[in-house]
């Protein structure tokens, strides 16, 4: 598809952005759906975020994705923010309005769509959540909103996990998130759980790292979902499978958060057939890399 005077531009702002797969998602969709749009990664230095957002609007960019380290910091530069993003405290998608950008968080709805596509439910479920950082905080909020019965939130430090659990419980209006230290996992009631790995532990090149190494922990898991997608199969996933559980990586979360952003920018609905086509292309990228 040719670039001309009517081509709409979207992009990703963050630091770093060199290894992003988002252009593959958006440019494939644009070509597939016949939209005159191009998506590019845009490196923004730490002290230039305000200028970058204003410059993007001045240059008539249709929309932006936002990645680390700017998902919270960017909020101060927006004209408006969606309620979900406000409650999560993080924005990953900017949508152009008449006088500025409106911020959304498509990460969590992307995670929900990814889990749903694999037959994983959250409503009424007992969940173990590893971590209490920005990603885990958002996951805890999602689980609470979608009707999880209990979320046992495990973290290395007590002050952090206690604060995050209290914040989410207060926002939801019920005590659904239970803060615990990692070493206290044995105190979780007997049973089988959905476990979500919400930390950066296990990212390449540290592929043999895992938040909890004890075999007994993995006997509690019926399904494990790791937000990481590189490596393709993390140590957390391998240990979950070794003890009879199902395990999934975060690639479909990446896919669906991108699809939701694309839908917001272009006011369209992407079909599951088109979503699956893009997913297969993303999977092939990892197969070729291996």
Q: Map residue 262 onto helix, strand or coil.
A: helix
71 catalytic residue (yes or no): yes
Biggest CA-to-CA distance, the chain: 62
| Beta strands at 63-66 and 93-96: parallel, antiparallel or unpaired | antiparallel
User: What angle, rounded to 10 degrees, do the helices at 134-145 and 158-172 form?
Assistant: 30
Would you tell me how many other CB atoms lie within 10 Å of the CB of residue 55? 13
Q: Map residue 130 onto helix, strand or coil.
A: strand
Q: How far apart are CA 222 and CA 182, in angstroms?
A: 19
Q: Are 75 and 81 in contact (CB under 8 A)?
A: yes
Q: How far apart are CA 249 and CA 261, in angstroms?
A: 20
Which residues is 152 bridged to in the sheet? 128, 178
Q: Which position among 8, 50, 71, 160 bears the catalytic label?
A: 71
- For residue 266, give every residue at least 6 positions away whose Cβ sits within 8 Å of its Cβ, in sequence order, or none: 33, 35, 37
Nearest alpha carbon to residue 198 among 167, 164, 175, 170: 164
The single residue listed with the structure tokens 């009879």 is 244
Nearest alpha carbon to residue 103 among 70, 142, 140: 70
The single residue listed with the structure tokens 């004890």 is 214
Q: Which residues are catalytic?
A: 71
């Amino acid at each position: 598809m040719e670039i001309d005077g009517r081509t709409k531009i979207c992009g990703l702002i963050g630091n770093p952005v060199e290894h992003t797969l988002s252009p593959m998602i958006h440019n494939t969709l644009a070509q597939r759906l016949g939209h005159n749009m191009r998506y590019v990664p845009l490196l923004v230095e730490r002290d230039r975020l305000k200028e970058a957002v204003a410059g993007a609007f001045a240059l008539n960019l249709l929309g932006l994705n936002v990645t680390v380290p700017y998902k919270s910091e960017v909020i101060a530069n927006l004209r408006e923010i969606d309620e979900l993003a406000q409650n999560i405290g993080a924005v990953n998608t900017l949508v152009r309005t008449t006088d500025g950008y409106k911020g959304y968080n498509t990460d969590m709805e992307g995670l929900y769509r990814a889990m749903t596509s694999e037959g994983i439910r959250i409503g009424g479920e007992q969940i173990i959540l590893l971590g209490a950082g920005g990603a885990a905080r958002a996951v805890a909020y999602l689980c609470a909103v979608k009707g999880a019965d209990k979320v046992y939130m495990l973290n290395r430090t007590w002050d952090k996990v206690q604060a995050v659990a209290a914040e989410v419980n207060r926002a939801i209006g019920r005590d659904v998130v239970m803060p615990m230290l990692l070493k206290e996992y044995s105190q979780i009631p007997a049973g089988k759980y959905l476990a979500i790995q919400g930390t950066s532990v296990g990212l390449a090149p540290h592929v043999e790292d895992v938040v909890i190494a004890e075999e007994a922990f993995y006997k509690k898991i019926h399904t494990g979902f790791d937000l990481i997608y590189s490596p393709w199969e993390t140590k957390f996933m391998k240990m979950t499978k070794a003890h009879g559980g199902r395990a999934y990586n975060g690639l479909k979360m990446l896919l669906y958060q991108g699809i939701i952003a694309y839908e917001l920018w272009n006011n369209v609905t992407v079909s599951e057939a088109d979503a699956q086509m893009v997913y297969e292309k993303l999977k092939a990228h990892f197969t070729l890399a291996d």
